[in-house]
Structure 1
Amino acid sequence: MLMQCQDLNHYLVGWTDWNLALDQGGGPNWVKNFVDSPIIVDHSRDIFYKQPTFYSMAHFSKFLWEGSQRVGVSFSQETKLESSAFVRPDGSVVLTILNRWSSEVQFEVCDPAVGFISSSAPAHSLLTLAWNTR
């Protein structure tokens, strides 16, 4: 499951998977509802696989520091992108962009404190822009 920007925009304050690592059958699991996890372990070959969820959790964890406060984002026109913005405890800003579409989307961010930031979101991407406002 990919944590979506929309989850963050609707008062989510934390998220964790019930198990960080499971075997290839989705266990061990005492209730027998075998599921996926961020890391899958192949005991017979002594290897593990990092799933896409592992990387999305790592991405959000890297940029959204404890004490970050979500701020609103507004769009000047209709967009295919999803986004969430935060002010971190040090005063810097992070803007997380999710592009679910099969094409790249060009966009521009306007922060009155720093001006315009031009960027693009590659197809099927999750990216974060970070900048200082001081």
Structure 2
Amino acid sequence: MRSCNAAVFTMRLSPPPAPLDRTLDLNNFVAGWVDWNICLDEKGGPTWVNNNLDSPIIVNAAADKFYKQPMFYAMGHLSKFIKPDSARISAKVTGKQSVLATAFTCQGRRTLVLLNKHDSSQDLLVTDSTTEHHIRLTVDPRCLVTVLWEKQQSYM
């Protein structure tokens, strides 16, 4: 194995928003994800079925203010790194059930998204199976981490 140069972007989510798990459903033939309500009031409405919920943006109309929730930033993080026309590729995490992973390739660039749902750091070895290049990294507790690297030629 050879080590590779990679850029690592980390976003602390304490706790990770529950819908974030669904964004990693992209491993299961999901083509995208839409948040039903991007803005709701402080009571989680309005809603026609009275199932008040949380949302990425909470609006306090009386004070003419809005509040960006962790899910807002998580959606922005994923949108920044998973580009249109990306193709999902295999991503497998062994021995770390608290770490979720999904990976993409687009124009020769690899994008790996990791979500550590655990309360402790997780040490990982990421290996690109097509080139055997690797990177070691520690994913902090309750963090969303994106790793980017260029697909390099295999020299085997």
Partner of 1:79: 96
Structure 2 contact 102–113 (Cα < 8 Å) conserved: yes
The question of 1:108 aligning with 2:129 is answered no
Structure 2 contact 45–53 (Cα < 8 Å) conserved: yes
Secondary structure class of the residue paired with 2:20:
coil
Inter-partner Cα distance in structure 2 for 1:53 and 1:130: 22
Structure 1's 6 and 18: CA in aligned 2 closer, same or farther, altered over 3 A? closer
Question: CA offset at residue 7 of structure 1?
Answer: 0.8
Inter-partner Cα distance in structure 2 for 1:28 and 1:74: 40
Partner of 2:46: 28
Inter-partner Cα distance in structure 2 for 1:48 and 1:118: 39
User: 4+ residue runs of structure 1 moved beyond 6 angstroms?
Assistant: none
Moved more, 23-32 or 77-86: 23-32
Partner of 2:116: 99
Structure 1 contact 106–119 (Cα < 8 Å) conserved: yes
Inter-partner Cα distance in structure 1 for 2:103 and 2:109: 11
The question of 1:70 aligning with 2:88 is answered yes
Structure 2 contact 92–101 (Cα < 8 Å) conserved: no
- Superposition TM-score, scaled by structure 2 size: 0.76
RMSD (Å), alpha carbons:
1.8
The question of 1:3 aligning with 2:20 is answered yes
The question of 1:120 aligning with 2:131 is answered no
Deviations 1:61-102 (A, max 9, x none): 111111111111234x412321111112x2100011111111
Secondary structure class of the residue paired with 1:3:
helix
Number of aligned positions between the proteins:
132
Inter-partner Cα distance in structure 2 for 1:60 and 1:84: 11
For structure 2, the residue ranges without an aligned partner over 5 or more in a row are: 1-17
Report percent identity of matched pairs: 38
Structure 1 contact 2–56 (Cα < 8 Å) conserved: no
Structure 2 contact 88–104 (Cα < 8 Å) conserved: yes
Paired AA for residue 120 in structure 2:
S
Paired AA for residue 40 in structure 2:
L
1:12 to 30, 35, 47: 30
